[in-house]
């Protein structure tokens, strides 16, 4: 993935996707930490700043939008999954392997 900070766009698999500033920030944190489980509090602080006063579902809604807008699905080479009672993890998938 290639991130363009000036235009808040991400080039992924040959497609350029325009994101909001918060979606862009969240995508950047997730891609910089591939295969690492990130806590909800870490993600909220990294994207929304220290001690954000946000509804609890804000992060979930943004993750859902990212999953959809960037097509983060196993058949496209990525999996963005919740980590129970902790946060989220973005992983690359081996699309060459057949099951």
Nearest to 92 by CA among 76, 75, 82, 77: 77
pLDDT band, residue 56 (cuts 50/70/90): confident
pLDDT surpasses 50 at 82: yes
- Give percent of the chain with pLDDT exceeding 70: 95
- The torsion of the CA quartet 59, 61, 64, 65, rounded to 10 degrees, works out to -110
Determine which helix (DSSP H) or strand (DSSP E) holds 29, and give its type and residue range. helix 21-32
For 30-46, how does the pLDDT look when each residue is reduced to its tens digit (9 = 90+)? 999 999 999 999 999 99
Cα distance between the two ends of the chain: 26
φ and ψ of 96, to 5 deg:
-80, -25
């Amino acid at each position: 993935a290639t991130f363009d900070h000036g235009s808040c766009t991400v080039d992924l698999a040959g497609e350029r996707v325009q994101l909001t500033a918060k979606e862009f920030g969240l995508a950047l944190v997730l891609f910089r930490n591939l295969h690492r489980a990130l806590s909800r509090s870490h993600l909220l602080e990294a994207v929304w700043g220290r001690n954000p006063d946000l509804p609890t579902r804000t992060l979930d809604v943004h993750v859902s939008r990212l999953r959809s807008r960037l097509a983060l699905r196993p058949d496209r080479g990525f999996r963005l999954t919740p980590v129970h009672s902790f946060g989220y993890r973005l992983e690359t998938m081996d699309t060459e392997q057949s099951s």
